[in-house]
Amino acid sequence: MKIHFILQLLLLFLSILFLSCTDEPSSLGITQIESDFIIVKTFDSSIDTIVQNSNYLKRVVPLGNSDWILVGRYQDIKASTLMKFVFGLPDTLREDVLDDSINVTDAWIDLRNRYVYTDTLAAMNFSVHKVNSLWSPLAFTIDSLPNLDYDVTDISSEFSIDDTSYSFDIDESLVLSWMKNSSDINVEENFGIYLEPTMSSTKVIGFQALTPISSQAAKLTVVIEKPGVYIDTISGFIAADVSLVDAPVPTLPSGIMGVQSGVTIKSRLSFDIDALPLGIVINKAELILTSDTINSIRGSSSNNSLLVYYLRSADSLNSEGSPVFLSLSNNKFSGDITTFVRTWVSRKQNYGLLIQPGNQLNGLDLFALKASDFSENAERPRLRVTYTIKKTL
């Protein structure tokens, strides 16, 4: 009887406890729970006080992996090109070449237009010179040009120019020496040719370069004759090419920074994020750059994008990791740099960002951007960070 009574009291107690747990908490309880929650905040450099700095500078890089080879002049830019052709000759023809049984009666090179900077109607022509020294498309730059040995004599003639191509004849004896070199490297040398724009040129043309997938790279056609036996046409194959761009750092108005392909010009940008609270978690960080359309100069077939890199030191342009793509919309370049800002916060190191064209090797496009010292604060580079932080009482 006593045990039965105790069981009833226990069941009653559990029922009361269960009902009290299912009731909604009081307003006091809600306040206590909220004090332990995290909240989401946004930091915006266009609104909040923040120090930022930007500048632009030139860093020469090899252009051997570009999709285009550049030749021409525009204002204070001079673009020239090195190229080299080789032959794959059958054994019988190789023997005839080495025996001096073959004459080259005609030879010409075809170049396919892919890009123009800037006025398509402007004039552009060039001279062609025999090269006498070794060069590599993956290492040779405009800084290497003073060491290049080439003949001053122009070995080109009979130019044919239209909207899509340039064709010109080239000295037959030089081509025959290339054929001999392909037959026996100890007989002749083949260092290729150098294309230099004439002083009357006022535009730069990008011709299709040698790439793994290109079918319209430079073509060499050769007419050969074995007297009294046959006349035939063979092809030389482009083996290497590289553009050389001689240009100063562009002069831009105060408050404007720039990035330019081909030259190549890059911009550094840094934000002092010490204003962000300690112990936060970065949810998202977005970089927004405003284009200056007045001072930008674009060619045909432009790539309307930028890349931004994480800088790993204060005194160099060395970057780490993969770049972030900045796309253009409504005159703004923007992209997600959450990973970069998280790294700044976690490492407690911030050396800023490096900005360059979406393809720094192709063309000469100049992207002018509103800089950190632009007169209107709303147009300056903008860093917008969304973060979470524990709410305190």
Is the model's pLDDT at 393 over the cut of 60? no
| pLDDT tops 60 at residue 10 | no
Three-state secondary-structure class, residue 53: strand
Average pLDDT score over the chain: 90
Distance of alpha carbon 225 from alpha carbon 102, whole angstroms: 6
**Are residues 296 and 366 in contact, defined by beta-carbon separation less than 8 angstroms?**
yes
Residue 65 scores a pLDDT above 50: yes
Q: Dump pLDDT digits (tens) for 318-360.
A: 999 999 999 999 999 999 999 999 999 999 999 999 999 999 9
Q: Show the tokens assigned to 4.
A: 């039965």
Tell me, what's the pLDDT at 36?
53
How far apart CA 15 and CA 285 sit, in angstroms, is 51
Distance CA 158, CA 86 (A): 22
Smallest Cα–Cα separation from 69: which of 302, 346, 364, 336? Answer: 364
Task: Label residues 125-160 b or e (16+ Cβ within 10 Å = b).
Answer: bbbbbbbeeebebeebebebeeebebeeeebbeeee
Going by pLDDT thresholds of 50, 70 and 90, the confidence category of residue 23 is very low
pTM of the model: 0.86
Please enumerate, as own/partner, the contacts of 292-296 that have beta carbons within 8 Å and a separation of 24 or more.
Answer: 292/256, 292/368, 292/369, 292/370, 293/331, 293/368, 294/368, 295/252, 295/253, 295/256, 295/258, 295/366, 295/368, 296/365, 296/366, 296/367, 296/368
**Angle at the Cα of 239 from the Cα atoms of 224 and 67, rounded to 5 degrees:** 125
Please say if the pLDDT value at position 221 is more than 70. yes
Q: Provide the token pair at 55.
A: 């500048």
What is the maximal distance between C-alpha atoms in the chain? 133
- Neighbour tally for 181: CB within 10 Å: 18
Mean pLDDT throughout 96-102?
96
Phi first, then psi: give them for residue 173, nearest 5 degrees.
Answer: -65, -35
Indicate whether 28 pLDDT > 90.
no
